[in-house]
Every structure is written in structure tokens, then in C-alpha cells.
Amino acid sequence: MSDGHEDLAQGFAAFPARQSGPVRGRSWWARTWMAAVEDGWPAGASLKKGRAVARSGRLGPLTVGPGHIAAQVYEDADEPYTVALALPEPDDERWDALWERVADRPAETAALLAGEVPPDLLEAAEDARLGLLPGYGELDADCGCDAPDHPCAHAVALAWQFSWLLDEDPRLLLLVRGRGGATALEELRSVLFLRALTEDGPGEDVTEQGDNGTEPGDVPVPEGTPPAEAYARPRVPLPALPPLPEPPEESDAPVTGIEADPLERLVADAAARAAALLAYVLGTAAEPPPPLDLWQDTVRIAATHPDPRVPARLRDACGRPDALDRAVEAWRWGGAEGLKVLEETWQPDAPAVARARTSLSTGWEDENLPAPVVSGNHWTLAARGLQLRYGRDARWYPYRARSGTWWPAGPPAHDPALALAELLGD
């Protein structure tokens, strides 16, 4: 069995300030999570304050990984500090017991294989003595605010915001307990595969029943799993190879009527799209690749195609050669979000602006740089020919002036001081 840890924790953009509306999550898992959190923590003023902090926008981007949830706290005039929640991770035997219980439940098994997390999984976890939700005293909080309350309001706010994440993806609860979505499915499929090899298949006379009254033959097995009888059949020799066909007559025209050059471009484009979809399925990308309009797709192909002739053809065909060159640079540094940052101007909320000023003021002490001119999401140092642009993904994109035009100049960073440092270093 795998140890259950993903290579990297998952990051999520900071929640903007909420002026009104309910704090509790919309989904069953979000509400159940907060009910368990409140039951496990002592009642006090910090629980009420935590709701206000969660809605204030003072917490930065969230990081969720095996055994922990963390974020930066941004107060009005102080340096940011870290707040973190920790949960113990069950051992492999408990996880093995859980997947055995799930395999006895066809409905829960089908839901998990479809990428869902059914509420009945909680009952299966309790049968396996594996607590998905935090039990009493299990959820440990640590914060740099040095408040006397334990947990402090920032820790409570982080728990609330994690419940909002569960609204979108309840599989994060598995990740916090030590199993990412890909690992959990791999382990469940392994249990189902072993059962398929040792138990009677569907449609046969089955008299033995599982723990919950279901028959083993009704348990779903991974698609493509061969029946157990297939492994008992004797091997049959392969037939002789047929004779090779006669070589075609020499001709300059392609045999299929289709030139090879367009096929190569189509294959490369399909590979790039498949890689983006696979990253989402494996959990390394937060969202599937969005649909693109004609201009965005033109930029994507020009930026990612390995054949240098492709950008040149697209530059001539699109009628916007200068715009395409800048757009290609933006895509190569930041993908679709980088292109949006190049072409869109918007107004970030006040907490994001305050956090940026705090971070940049620290990074500029030794450089003696002037204050930037702020216009929307653009922070410009015209005398230095430098600019930072804040994206809707909560990252800062560096730009440099070139012939009177701002050009993308490097990879984005969550900290504006780091993005500026890259520009100054260059």
C-alpha cells in the first residue's frame, strides 16, 4: 500500500471579504465538519470572533496537505504570521480497513470511483475506527498572534474557511487525514481488484453475503478487470504473422491524402490538452482547463507548439503580430491566467492591496525605491521600467518596459516582494 502522501500540498486563493450572508458552508460535509470542530473545541468568545475573522478577508491563501491546514494572517499594520491546524493521520491498517468496508457497500464504492464523497462514507470510516472528522481534542491549533485564547479567533476562522473549501471539494477531508484523492482511488481499486480475483463474479450463484447484507458479486470492480476464470485458461500459441504488404509505388503525394505537417500539429495540440486534463484528474491542478475562444486558442498554440514554424504562420494569419508576440510571452510565463493579466484590468479588494503594501514595504527598505503608482491591479515603478500586475489567482506577474510597451518578464509569485526581487535581480 502507498503511504498516502501526495508529492505536494494543494494551495487555494484567499477568500475575499464577505460583508453579509451566512458563514456556514452549503454542503453536508462543510456543515458536519464545523459541527465536529465546535464540539471538539471549548465554547467561548473565540468561536464568535472566528466567524468575523473568517469573513474579514484577513487570511491569505490556504494550504491544505496531509495532516495540516495553514494560512497567513494579515493584520492592518503588522507583519503577517502563520495560523495552522493539525490533525493526526491514521496508519495504513486503518485505511486498509476503511477500503474493505467501502468495498462491501456498492453505492459508496460507485460514488467514490465517480469522484464523489458520499455522506455514508462517514459510517464506513467509523466501522473501520478511522475518524474522518476531528474527534474531541484531535484538532490542534497553532497561531503566531500570541492570543491567550486557545484556540484563537484566527484558528477558528481557518476552520471556517476550510469548510468553504469542502463545499467545492469534499475530497480535501481525505487529504487532511493523509490520503489524497488519487491515492485513495488507487487503494480502493486495489481492494476491488483482489476481490475480483478471489470471489465469484456477477451473475453466478452466490450464497455468502457481506457484512451489510450485500452480495460480493454485486461489489463494483474496476473497469477492464478480467474475470477470475481468465487466469486459469491454458496458453494458446499465437498465429503466424501474415506476409508483409508490397511497398507502395514512389510518389510525392502522401499515401493517405493528408500532409504529415498538419497531423504533427494536431498530435502535439492533443497531447497538450491531454496533459492539462490529466493534471486536473490527478489533483495537481485545481480546475480543468477552461474553454478558450479563437484568440486565446491561437495564443495557446503559438506558445506551446514545438514547431517554430507554427508561431510564424499564426502571426501572419491573425493580423495582430505585435499583440500575438506579447500574448505568447504572457502565456509562456503564466498560461491562460497570464494572458488574462496581460489583457484585463480590474480592482483588487482592500485587504489584497493592504497585504501587498505590507509585503513590498519590507522588500524595499534596502533598495530605497520610490512608492509605486497603483492603478487597479497594476503597480508601476516608471523610473525603473518595472511593473507588477495582480491576477485574479492571487499571484503577482512581473512586467518590464520594452520600447514603450509593458512586456511579461518572468514567472508569477504569490508574494509581490519575491516577484519584484526577480525583476531587480535581472
Q: What is the DSSP string of 133-162?
A: S--TTT-EEEETT--SSSS-HHHHHHHHHH
- Cβ neighbors of 45 (< 8 A, separation 6 or more) are 149
What is the model's pLDDT at position 251? Answer: 63
What is the model's pLDDT at position 314? Answer: 86
Regions of the chain short of the pLDDT cut 70: 1-8, 19-22, 43-45, 76-78, 199-232, 251-265, 283-286, 306, 362-369, 425-426
Bond before 90 cis per omega within 30 degrees: no
Calpha distance 170→117 (Å, rounded): 6
Statement: the pTM of the whole predicted model exceeds 0.75: no
Residue 190 main-chain phi, psi, to 5 deg: -65, -45
What is the model's pLDDT at position 344? Answer: 93
- Cβ neighbors of 58 (< 8 A, separation 6 or more) are 73, 74, 75, 157, 351
Helix locations, 115-252, DSSP H: 121-127, 153-168, 172-176, 181-198
What is the model's pLDDT at position 229? Answer: 64
Rounded to 5°, the CA angle 376-290-14 comes to: 45
Domain ranges across the chain: 10-193, 265-321, 350-425
